[in-house]
Amino acid sequence: MIYIYGLVDGEGNLFYVGKTQNPRQRLNAHRCKYGKSISIYIIEEVTQQDWEEKERYWIEELRDRGYKLLNILPGGDSPPDCTGRILSDATKEKISKAHIGQRHSDATKQKLSRLAKQRCRMPAYREKMRKNARQYWAVLSHREEASERQKKHCQDPEVIRRLRDATTRLWQDPVYRESLCEIHRKRCQDPAVLEQMSMISKRQWEDPEYRAKTTAAHIGKVPSEDTRRKMSEAHKDQRPTAEAIEASRVAIREKWDTDKEYYNKMSSLMTERWRDPEFRAKMKEINGTAHAKSYPAFIHKETGEIIPAGMNLKDMCQRRGLGYSGMYLVSRGKRKSNHGWMLLGER
């Protein structure tokens, strides 16, 4: 049996409405807070199924009658409506002082942990928390405030060390690694999740500061042999087929020809990259190696000097001050000599 009760102060004023299964025990608990002058009386006896509705009814009814109740909740199992509620500095200071030096015992910690785990196993509770979280994070100011707090928090070297150590300990557990990988694999099979991740990645890479920071973080990093082997095995079944590669090339060419905005964006990006001297030197080195022409051994018919065979005819001509086109014709047997240089076997 559930009792809907009211608390009355020493002057006979009703100031609180609640529910209990043990009125005497509940009264003793209230006296610790409001003093021993208060008394309790039973408003109604209800069943386990309808006590929430009855409690809400009596709180609303008594307030309509003019009673100034101290109840924060509207009754039942309802969360308090704290929207826009701002605590004063005096209240904050009072709460802070009340909690200074307080420590839960090990038994209390275990009890709280057990109760929290029991709540988290309840589908209704999990759905309720997910709904509240979605409503909270839907507000842009909440996300920005949380981001700023996280940035300041992660600038502390001690915090960084603790997080790194905790992550290392977690990843040393094979069960934890496998469970996390399984969750990630299931999420990546959802097209909506993939589309959301793609949009987030695109927004991040549109930020020049983010691109520069990410690039600087990877400069000089070389994956170990074990890491490369794992990456190769993980992507072994994900390599695109020749048909997929050709289809991708066709799609890119069509987008380049039809999408003017994409064309201008890529053109400006490539122009900006080619203005970088380091990038130009790197591309020159790559292109020189990729398009290098091998050459046979040459000999000068007057001095007898020999140029051994090599892999980059253009580089050799630049180093020796020779004309590339003439030496190329000699190397292919289309010209007998070029400034005295001829093939070694034809002298």
Separation of alpha carbons 312 and 328, rounded Å: 11
pLDDT digits (tens, 9 = 90+) for 215-259: 888 777 777 888 888 877 777 666 677 787 788 888 888 888 888
pLDDT digits (tens, 9 = 90+) for 141-171: 888 888 888 888 888 888 888 888 988 888 8
Q: Average pLDDT of 292-297?
A: 79
Is the pLDDT score of 264 beyond 70? yes
**Are 316 and 295 contacting, i.e. CB atoms less than 8 angstroms apart?**
yes
Looking at residue 292, what is its pLDDT?
65
pLDDT digits (tens, 9 = 90+) for 82-103: 555 667 788 778 777 777 777 7
Q: Where are the domains positioned within the chain?
A: 2-64, 138-215, 292-346
Separation of alpha carbons 347 and 102, rounded Å: 98
pLDDT digits (tens, 9 = 90+) for 49-78: 888 888 888 888 888 888 888 887 777 655
Separation of alpha carbons 258 and 250, rounded Å: 12
Sheet holding 341-343, edge to edge: 306-307, 298-300, 341-343
Sheet holding 2-8, edge to edge: 14-20, 2-8, 39-46
Q: Average pLDDT of 19-24?
A: 89
Separation of alpha carbons 222 and 228, rounded Å: 10
Looking at residue 7, what is its pLDDT?
92
Residue-averaged pLDDT of the chain: 83
Question: Following DSSP, what letter does each residue of 148-179 receive, concatenated?
Answer: HHHHHHTT-HHHHHHHHHHHHHHHT-HHHHHH
